[in-house]
């Protein structure tokens, strides 16, 4: 849905660099999901955030990955010291909070070289 | 935990034919939503159709319809009069709705790559 904005659309990083992926949810939405789509696999849940609060991060790798959703500004998914296996499409989805479907952004394609 | 299974990694049909994509799920929840999302080469995820579990009537959106069999935990997508623009990955997804009105995250199947041949 065009209302959820992700940037950049494409991101190339060398191994060991940091990657920052941004997601601006739809207006009025205060909850954000991050998903990762690895090649040959379906979408995998990573983290569920509310503004200033991490609700569920059970899908996040324990190391190098972090996410935040500050009171002001977009949600950020940060990957430190990227490795080739981090290459994937990362999708953000926003929901109003309850009883609604998720609206997805266009995704960020991360390529680690 | 919920699981969603799409048993057809890839399907190919001729333009104008009807195609059915299968999806089964496993859950102990009684109140939930089911979705079909389309992911064209642009990578954007587009909601195709959704079904509330408490509704017995199958959802329909133009050429897209579902066959929702709650007892069998089956949620197949039928595309009628298929068009070249229907070529995409299709993901089946499940979202549980809890008694307090809160929603759990989406659980996706692995996807089916649908190819419409001219």
Show which of residues 39-98 on chain B sit within 8 Å of chain A, judged by CB atoms.
42-47, 50, 91, 95, 97
pLDDT at A99: 45
- B102: pLDDT strictly greater than 70: no
SS3 A43: strand
Q: Is A93 on the interface with B (CB under 8 A)?
A: yes
pLDDT at B101: 53
Say how far apart CA B95 and CA B91 lie, in whole Å.
13
- A1: pLDDT strictly greater than 70: no
Chain A nearest CA to B31, separation (Å): 11
pLDDT digit string, tens, across residues A23-72? 999 888 888 989 887 655 556 778 989 899 998 888 899 999 999 999 99
Q: Is A105 on the interface with B (CB under 8 A)?
A: yes
Say whether A42 and B47 touch across the interface (CB within 8 A). Answer: no
SS3 B100: coil
| Contact between residue B111 and residue B8 where contact means Cβ atoms under 8 Å apart | no
pLDDT at B115: 94
pLDDT digit string, tens, across residues B5-40? 999 988 999 999 999 999 999 998 888 889 898 877
Q: Which residue has the tokens 């309850």?
A: A98
Say whether B47 and A101 touch across the interface (CB within 8 A). Answer: yes
Rounded to the nearest 10 degrees, how much is the dihedral formed by the CA atoms of A58, A64, A70, A74? Answer: -100
SS3 A85: helix
């Amino acid at each position: 849905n065009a209302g959820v904005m992700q940037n950049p659309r494409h991101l190339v990083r060398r191994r060991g660099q940091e990657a920052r992926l941004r997601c601006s949810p739809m207006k009025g939405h205060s909850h954000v999901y991050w998903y990762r789509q690895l090649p040959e696999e379906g979408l995998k849940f990573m983290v569920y955030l509310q503004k200033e609060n991490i609700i569920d991060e059970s899908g996040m790798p324990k190391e190098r990955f972090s996410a935040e959703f500050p009171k002001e500004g977009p949600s950020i998914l940060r990957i430190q010291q990227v490795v080739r296996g981090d290459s994937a499409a990362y999708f953000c989805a926003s929901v109003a909070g309850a009883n609604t479907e998720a609206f997805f952004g266009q995704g960020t394609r991360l390529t680690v070289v | 935990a919920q699981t969603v299974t799409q048993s057809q990694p890839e399907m190919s049909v001729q333009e104008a034919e009807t195609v059915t994509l299968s999806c089964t799920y496993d859950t102990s929840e009684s109140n939930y939503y089911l979705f079909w999302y389309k992911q064209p080469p642009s990578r954007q995820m587009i909601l195709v159709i959704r079904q509330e579990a408490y509704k017995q009537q199958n959802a329909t959106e133009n050429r897209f319809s579902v066959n929702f069999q709650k007892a069998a935990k089956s949620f197949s997508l039928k595309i009628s009069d298929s068009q070249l623009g229907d070529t995409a990955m299709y993901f089946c997804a499940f979202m549980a709705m809890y008694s307090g009105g809160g929603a759990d995250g989406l659980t996706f199947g692995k996807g089916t790559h649908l190819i419409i041949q001219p």
